[in-house]
Amino acid sequence: MSSEFNHPKNPIRIGSRGSQLALWQANHILYALRDAGYHVELEVIRTTGDRMQQPGFVVPANLDGKGIFIKEIEEALEEGHIDLAVHSLKDLPTKLAPQFTLAAIPKRADARDVWVCEPYWSLNTLPEGGRIGTTSPRRRAQLLALRPDVEFVDIRGNIDTRLKKLAAGQCDALVLAAAGLDRLKRAEWVHHRFSPEELCPAPGQGALALETRSAEYPVDEARDAYIRQAVAFFNHPETRFCVEAERVALDALGGGCSIPIGVHCVPEFERWRMFAQVLALDGEAMVQIDTDAALDVAPDCFGQRVADELKSKGALGLLAAMPELSN
């Protein structure tokens, strides 16, 4: 790859969190770029969200829960310490600041949530009052809608930490994203992959986002353009459509990761299909839709329509009833 910008002394610098999954994801992109002939290096960045996983960390009162895993990474990107950030798309806020752009969204992995539990191989066979380790309001509400008797335990930390806590008996089951377990080769823990109709995944789940500086806010205009061009081959248009539509639907409902909303879009029979759920926190009320659109629809139109249809079924009433959630 000959270019004045592709030089071992000035590699493309990828910024990533230090968790196993984040490192896997960043290295996955790094190796593919090296295979394509680019000089690339990895920079590990500690975020507020990572510090919050430490026992004893006091959550700052001003934290709105959005973007806590990306703040320090975006600062490094803006200042030019790194050139590219690799994120789990579902951890990115629905709106990016104008300094940044998603230069590519690679092909999505398995978007589903999974059931991890020994020896109860399904939610149905979990005994009454079984304790599920998840802090996600979406997963809690969806699980309560299916099994009102289950209880929850705050299990945090990276994937291996959670699996260890499960093995140590701190809870009876976990619900996790398939993508994380598959990437870290922990799929042997998976006993059931919930269909999106059973337990609708978070918008963007299973997809990666390659974030760069935008054309409007360059550090070095020509080099920044070269980097956006270098990563463009990762982009998977079908995934991009689906996750954009999902994120528009979430945004139109006023959502971040703290409200119980599942949205999942797939191509099916030469149409786009979208399944979406909004729940009350206790799972006792839910509105959901399953709808489709022609392939030539714009993703924001489809996402907006899905949000409007959920609203017309009463989604805003469910969301308005929610107290301020801490995260």
Enzyme catalytic residues: 91
Using the minimum distance from each CB to ligand PBG, give the nearer residue, 11 or 15.
Answer: 15
* Smallest separation (angstroms) from ligand PBG to the CB of 193: 13
Q: Sketch the per residue contact string, 128 through 167, with ligand PBG: x for CB under 6 A, - otherwise.
A: ----------------------------------------
Nearer to ligand PBG, 13 or 90 (CB): 90
d(CA 112, CA 180) in angstroms, rounded, equals 10
Among 86, 92, 104, 177, binds ligand PBG (CB under 6 A): 177
Instruction: Find the binder of ligand PBG among 205, 212, 239, 277 (CB under 6 A).
Output: 205
d(CA 242, CA 206): 12
Element (H, E) at 211: strand 208-213
Question: Cα 233 to chain center, whole Å?
Answer: 21
Indicate whether 277 belongs to the interface with ligand PBG (CB under 6 A).
no
Q: Is 260 in the site for ligand PBG (CB under 6 A)?
A: no
* Least gap, CB of 255 to ligand PBG (angstroms): 14
Helix or strand holding residue 264 (H, E):
strand 261-268
Taking residue 61's Cβ as centre, other Cβ atoms within 10 Å add up to 6
Cα angle 151-153-156, degrees, rounded to a multiple of 5: 150
Considering only 143, 150, 166, 176, the residue that binds ligand PBG (CB under 6 A) is 176
Side chain identity, residue 232: A
Place of tokens 């029979």: 269
Q: Least separation, in Å, of the C-beta of 49 and ligand PBG?
A: 9
Total residues at interface with ligand PBG (CB under 6 A): 9
Amino acid at site 323: P
Residue in 247, 308, 297 with CA at minimum distance from that of residue 273: 297
Neighbours of 211 (CB within 10 A): 25
Quick one: which of 12, 45, 179, 293 contacts ligand PBG (CB under 6 A)? Answer: 179
Residue that is written with structure tokens 């079924």 in the block: 313
11, 180, 262, 299: which one binds ligand PBG (CB under 6 A):
180
CA distance 302 to 293: 7
CB of 11 to ligand PBG, least distance (A): 26
Nearest to 237, CA basis, from 245, 248, 229: 245
Q: Closest by alpha carbon to 105, among 299, 292, 308, 303?
A: 299
**What angle do helix axes 20-35 and 159-167 make, rounded to 10 degrees?**
140
The encoded tokens of residue 274 equal: 């979208």
**Contact pattern for ligand PBG over residues 65 through 104, marking x by CB under 6 A:** -----------------------x-xx-------------
Closer to ligand PBG at the Cβ: 86 or 144? 86
Q: Which segment (173-181, 262-270, 272-280, 318-326) binds ligand PBG by CB under 6 A?
A: 173-181
Q: How far is residue 283 from each of residues 79, 148, 263, 315, measured CA to CA in Å?
A: 44, 8, 16, 13
Contact 178, 205 (CB under 8 A): no
Quote the least distance from Cβ 177 to ligand PBG, whole Å: 4
CB nearer to ligand PBG: pick between 50 and 251: 50
206 binds ligand PBG (CB under 6 A): yes
Q: Choose between 5 and 69: whose C-beta lies nearer to ligand PBG.
A: 69
Tell me whether residue 172 or residue 224 sits nearer to ligand PBG (CB atom).
172
Binding site for ligand PBG (CB under 6 A): 88, 90-91, 176-177, 179-180, 205-206
